[in-house]
Structure 1
Amino acid sequence: MTLVNLKPSDEFEFKPGQGKVLLLACGALGREIVDLIERNRWTGFDLQCLPAKWHNTPDKIVPALREKIRDAKPRYQSIFVLYGDCGTGGDIDKLLAEEGIERLEGPHCYAFFSGQETFARTADEDVTAFFLTDYLARHFDKLIWEGLGMDRHPELLPMYFGNYTKIVFLAQTRNEELAKKAMAAAKKLGLDYEYRYTGYGELERDLKARA
């Protein structure tokens, strides 16, 4: 099964070979994970993604991860979770400690892609930045503009984004169309725009270590 179009609500499985390691991931990372698996011809991974839109309802993430982990444990040598904290207030880490499962290091995907040290180093200058990844640039209207209700209630814009000054697009691929979408998002929100190419960052490094 090859992933073609990953939508914000998709929950899917990707099994390129006889996987011994199950990757449990947020759907917002699905396209990048599949690209890395195919590009490196890793056959030891199976991938299951949960809906990316759950970032708007993070209380759904931990119960779903618990169910997936307990179902998968008898069938895999190991499980690796590709989530940050994702608004769960530490509950993902509590669950993984209980289950003896590791996850990708870092608080969120912006740090995964930038690299932990780089993200920490630019934290002061980015304190008023709203970050977009390839996925968020691609689905900005659905996940953010409509997801936060600003398409129906534009008066909410200052409430959500009044303290931001810029959009920082952390790009995983050199894609002109996505850069245009990110610029359009910045204009829509009335924010400055900054582009930074990150590639796959520590996501690639950590997967390579487990391949």
Structure 2
Amino acid sequence: MIACGALAREIVDLKRQTGWDHLDLTCLPAILHNHPEKITDAVRAAVAKHRDAYDRICVVYADCGTGGRLQAACDALGVEMIAGPHCYAFYEGLDRFAEIDEPTSFYLTDFLVRQFDAFVWEPLGLDRHPALRDMYFGNYEKLVYQAQTDDPALTAQAEAHAARLGLRFERRFTGYGDLQTALARWADRA
């Protein structure tokens, strides 16, 4: 499995819980999400690097802002990837996420709660220019924390992030959603 580094902890946890020791994992830097135009080339390079060592390679990314380029590359390379526009959709469950109309919601996962400053606050320059907050988040109404784990400390952090952004807070326990389903399907076929 070639995965986004933002999913590493969750994938390792699923492997541990289920005994999927026959699935190997390599992760690409999660920071690629700040430059989605680089994801497809990074995945291509990782597939090329590992192609000779494995009969089957699966890509643990959704589209993630690549505008369909990642899916096209995976199709051309003959590798599977997770369906969906982004991890928020597969954590929520693709069908459920499609039903939800929340264009004014900003989403965080466990990973993004832990890495909020490194992946949101600092890259957007909010640490240096706090007035930018309203430019970036002025049209959002709430922060939705999609909790993969039931961790009160992470929930408190997510709520604090919502307050920093001036947004209402909502927590949804999603667990691993369609990530777990996709990995289970791949594990059964491996």
Instruction: Provide the C-alpha distance between the structure 1 equivalents of 2:129 and 2:7, rounded to a whole number of angstroms.
Output: 29
TM-score (norm 1): 0.86
1:191 counterpart (145, 167, 171):
167
Instruction: Provide the C-alpha distance between the structure 1 equivalents of 2:72 and 2:122, rounded to a whole number of angstroms.
Output: 32
Query: Partner residue of 1:52?
Result: 30
SS at match of 2:57: strand
Deviates more, 1:173-182 or 1:84-93: 84-93
2:157 counterpart (170, 181, 198):
181
Instruction: Provide the C-alpha distance between the structure 2 equivalents of 1:127 and 1:61, rounded to a whole number of angstroms.
Output: 24
Q: After superposition, what is the alpha-carbon deviation per residue over 1:54-105, rounded to whole angstroms, capped at 9, x for unaligned?
A: 1111222111111110121111111110111112121111211111111011
How far 1:190 moved relative to its partner? Answer: 0.2
Once superposed, what is the RMSD of the aligned Cα atoms? 0.9
2:110 counterpart (112, 128, 134):
134
Instruction: Provide the C-alpha distance between the structure 1 equivalents of 2:64 and 2:93, rounded to a whole number of angstroms.
Output: 17
Code of the residue aligned with 2:139 in structure 1: it is N
Q: Are positions 1:30 and 2:22 aligned together? A: no
Query: Partner residue of 1:210?
Result: 186
1:152 counterpart (115, 125, 128):
128
Instruction: Provide the C-alpha distance between the structure 1 equivalents of 2:135 and 2:31, rounded to a whole number of angstroms.
Output: 21
Dislocated runs of 4+, deviation >2 Å: none
Aligned residues: percent identity?
A: 50
2:95 counterpart (117, 123, 129):
117
- In the alignment, structure 2 segments of 5+ residues that lack a partner are none
- In the alignment, structure 1 segments of 5+ residues that lack a partner are 1-22
Query: Partner residue of 1:62?
Result: 40
Instruction: Provide the C-alpha distance between the structure 2 equivalents of 1:155 and 1:77, rounded to a whole number of angstroms.
Output: 52
SS at match of 2:106: strand
Instruction: Provide the C-alpha distance between the structure 1 equivalents of 2:158 and 2:80, rounded to a whole number of angstroms.
Output: 32
Query: Partner residue of 1:4?
Result: none
Instruction: Provide the C-alpha distance between the structure 1 equivalents of 2:14 and 2:103, rounded to a whole number of angstroms.
Output: 30
